[in-house]
Amino acid sequence: MRMRTGLMLMMVVLAGAIVSPDGLFAADKPPAQKSEVSKGPRAIIKTKFGDIEVKFYQDLAPKHVENFIKLAKEGFYNGTIFHRVIPGFMIQGGDPNTKDTLKKESYGQGGPKDENGKPISVKAEFSDTPHKRGVVSMARAADPDSAGSQFFIVVEDSRFLDRKYTVFGEVTKGIGVADKIVNLSRDERDNPKERVEMTVTVLE
């Protein structure tokens, strides 16, 4: 009789429990974590494949973050494309030359200039932050201090770039968009045959 009573009590307890969609009882589920509030400015890179949201590493590369935000607010990036895509590696964009569809031979060579036409560059801010998937880093020429406006998004870990290029941000949403772009058909210069223009806005 005691055993039957015990079973009946257990059935009542189970019947009154709230079961979540994943099959766990509410009492057994860990408490919900508060969503993290995004601190500091971030960028939204809009493309025809979707949006890519980037958070900045202001502590690691303050000058590069400042430069990117300034250019974005000026509309510098709007209408530029991701002009270099390498599967298993990265996508690169931000060259003002790419706004001209008739000068593909100059893609990858452009950057911001001052009122006298002199190139504007930012001194390197290398760090130990690894070039892992989703990292946003600045492209440059042979001179470490030659970064201007061009940047790249790493789609696969590329640790050989560590401490050689300035990491200044990380994709927090939309890395799948970068995956779509990196797999576009490309020519012998790694230029995608399909234009993927961007519009960059900064949220503060």
Start-to-end Cα distance in the chain: 68
pLDDT confidence of residue 79: 98
pLDDT confidence of residue 204: 87
pLDDT confidence of residue 35: 36
Q: Tell me whether residue 146 is in a domain.
A: yes
Q: Residue 64's closest CA among 138, 128, 141?
A: 138
Write down the residue that tokens 């974590």 correspond to: 33
pLDDT confidence of residue 40: 86
* Structural domain that includes position 74: 42-203
Q: Tell me whether residue 179 is in a domain.
A: yes
The whole-angstrom separation of Cα 172 and Cα 141 is 27
Query: How many domains does the chain contain in total?
Result: 1
Q: Tell me whether residue 20 is in a domain.
A: no
Q: Tell me whether residue 37 is in a domain.
A: no
Whether the pTM exceeds 0.95: the reply is no
Q: What parts of the chain have a pLDDT lower than 50?
A: 1-38
